[in-house]
Each structure stands twice: as C-alpha cells, then as structure tokens.
Amino acid sequence: MKIHPLITKTEDLADLCARLAKSDFVAVDTEFMRENTYWPELCLVQIANTEEAAAIDPLAPGLDLAPLWNLLTDNEDVLKVFHAGGQDVEIVFNFTGRTPHPIFDTQIAMMAISQSEQIGYSNLVESWQGLTIDKGARFTDWSRRPLTDRQIEYAIGDVTHLSKIFPKMLKRLIKTGRGEWLDQEMEKLADPENYRNDPAQAWKRIKAPGRNPQVLGRLKAISEWREAEAQGKNIPRGRIARDETLADIASHPPKQQADLAKVRGLSQGWKDNDIGRRLMAVLAKAEPLPDEEMPPRAPRGAPLGKEGALVADLLKLLLKIRAREIDAAARLLARSEELELLAAGVRKNLTLLQGWRFDVFGRDALDLVEGKLAFAVENGKLKMTRVDETSDAETIAVQATPEG
C-alpha cells in the first residue's frame, strides 16, 4: 500500500479524492480535540482504500476540504467505513450539514458476528490481524504543529488496518447472512437528525426533574441560554454550568441574583456579574412548557411487581442464551428496558418484536412471557423447551441440578 506524505495542499487533496472516488470503499478516521471547546476542533483526517492511504491536515493554511467532503457526503457509489464512527460523523456534519453515506461501522458490525458489545479498535485489530497497536500517540495533542512522523504514522495506521479488516468482515457477514441486520443500524448512524444541534432542544438531554410544566419551561429556557453562551465563547457547555445545576435552578429558581451564590455548582461571582444577570433575565421570561412539548410518559403495561420482575430476569437470561447460541451481541438483539416493558405487558412499538429481531429472538421472548417456553438444565447445560400447549401449566419453571 502506498502511504502519501501529509496532505496540506488543495490540489493534492483533490487528486487523492478523485482516485478514491473510483473505489468500492474508503476507510475513514479523524483526530480531533474537544476538551476545551464547544465545537470539536478537527486536527487530522485519515483515509485509505486497499491501494493507498493518506493523512490530511485540515489546519494547513489555505487547504480547501471541499473535495474530501464531496467524496464523503455526495458520492453514493463509495462505501465509507468507520470504527465507532459517531464522533467522526458528527464532525463531518458540523462542517457540511450532511453526513457520510452510505456508511459502515465495524464496531456495530462486530455485534452481528460476535458477542462483542463495543469492541475497541485495538482489540479489533488484534482479533482480525493478530497485531498489537502501539498506543503511545493515542492521547497526543493533535492540534500542535508540526506533527511528528510518529504521530502521522500512528494516525494513518487506523485506516490502513481498517481497509484490510473490512473486506474480511464483509465476507463473514455474507457467510452468516446477517448483513441485513445492520442496515437499520447503519442508517441510524448516518441520520443527520442525530447530529443536528438545536439549542431549543438542549433541555431534552438533561434528566428532567419531573413533569411540571413550569419547571420544564424554565429548564428549556436556561438550557437554550447555556448553549448560546457556550457557543459564543466556544467553550464546553459544562464550563458555563453543569446539567445538575440547571436542573436545580429550574426546580428551585432563585428569587434574586444574589441567591445564585447559594446554588451548588455556581461560584460566588454569579451573584453580581454579567452572566448571572443574563441568567436571571432568562428565568424571568421563561414560560411554562406547552402541552405539545411535554415529554411522553413512560409506556406502561401492568405493574411490574415481583412476578413481573422475575419474568424480566428470565427474559434477560433468555437473551444471554440466544446471543451465545448464535454468537451475536445481546445488545444488538434487544435492550434491557424493552425486556422490562415486554414483561410488564407492553406489545406495541418494541423493536424486538419487529423484523429480523422478532425472528431471531422476539418470538421466543413473547412465548416465554405467554408461558409457551420454559427453561431446563440438561447434561449441565441450560436449555429452552417448549411447553405442551395441551397442558394446564400456567407458570414458568426453571429447573436446575446440583453441580457435580
């Protein structure tokens, strides 16, 4: 594979992207810094196909990244391969308002062909290529210039390894016939709505203190205000105020600015500084949250109770057994919260009762809840058995034998 020198000129980038545009896929990774800024600062982009690889310096003076963004977001003929690519996709969206498409994430794909829930990149490379990655440059300051040869070599390695792993992984997926399992997951990853930053919706990321419209109205107002303050200063929103501080202020609003000094998480300076005055002004204008914006109540079935909790535990056991049987990640098949809803009597809008998940796991989960499936231990191994429909059994039995 040809490794290019660090790309710092638009002409070189355009030539590279023109060649890569003829590929079936490209492996992509980014290096960025976000500890001290609101917006992640893109410091390096690495890209490769099976024949060539390069690192691109987005901080190089005069470099126009348009050829790269066009390749990633406009070319539907080239599959874009990432590993744990959510933050990489976010960066592309921040620059372009679009997301890479079509997209493939090797971390998600591993969930369909192994029991790995969130395999890290180093473990991925070790399992597929038998190589140990030097992590010495992992926590480097990617914004500092010039970059060292070691930094660039480390960064490019992320995509050169990925470009070799992806074809092998694709063959495994084709062999197992589980490629369709991933279609919905990959579309979720590429959905622009996941990355759209609407300050007016920022309050939804904070654990809401109940469903009081006045409290939620204040939480919405001050959350939107915090986003504007953080964006204007380009600092992390937590540097303005932490989530729990906003929730506390929304629940117990100060009557006057001097009371801000008593709020946990705010400094004494808030009692008479400009930012404190701006916060008080926002609180004064806050309106109760309209009915149409109120968060939906958690779906409920019958009260879970002790028996329902037992059924939920059995469903989680069933999930572990099925994941082990088919060598897939349990998290891909179903989430714990859905199992609890199923145990509580909910049947609508559960993904585990839809599509391939129903065929692979949901049908058995439903049968277990309805008393058509039971557990037993045979030869020291836990088995699932069908309950005779002609019997009068109304309970789910878990049989076990002593060890030894």
- What is d(CA 378, CA 384) in angstroms, rounded to the nearest whole number? 10
Q: Are 322 and 361 in contact (CB under 8 A)?
A: yes
> Into how many domains does the chain fold?
3
Task: Tell me which residue range forms the domain holding 354.
Answer: 308-386
Inside any domain, residue 391: no
CATH number, domain of 123, equals: 3.30.420.10
Report which residue type is found at 154: Y
Inside any domain, residue 300: no
**Pair (160, 12) in one structural domain:** yes
Q: Are 95 and 112 in contact (CB under 8 A)?
A: no
pTM: 0.85
Inside any domain, residue 397: no
Inside any domain, residue 303: no
pLDDT at 403: 39
* Dihedral sign from CA coordinates of 143, 149, 152, 154: negative
CATH number, domain of 313, equals: 1.10.150.80
Token pair in block for residue 402: 């002593």
* 213-to-221, 248, 288, 296 alpha-carbon distances in Å: 12, 15, 5, 13
**Pair (86, 151) in one structural domain:** yes
**Pair (233, 314) in one structural domain:** no
Inside any domain, residue 325: yes
In tens, the pLDDT along 98-131 reads 999 999 999 999 999 999 988 999 999 999 999 9
pLDDT at 381: 74
Q: Are 4 and 58 in contact (CB under 8 A)?
A: no
pLDDT at 393: 41
Q: Which residues does 159 contact at the CB level (< 8 Å), separation at least 6? A: 27, 28, 29, 46, 47, 48, 53
Residue 398's DSSP bridge partners are 375
**Pair (51, 130) in one structural domain:** yes
**Pair (369, 352) in one structural domain:** yes
**Pair (186, 220) in one structural domain:** no
- What is d(CA 330, CA 318) in angstroms, rounded to the nearest whole number? 10
pLDDT, averaged in runs of 10, over the chain (404 residues): 97 98 98 94 98 98 98 98 97 97 97 92 94 77 93 94 97 92 92 94 89 96 98 96 97 96 95 97 97 77 67 92 94 93 90 94 93 78 67 41 37
pLDDT at 385: 76
Inside any domain, residue 55: yes
**Pair (182, 207) in one structural domain:** no
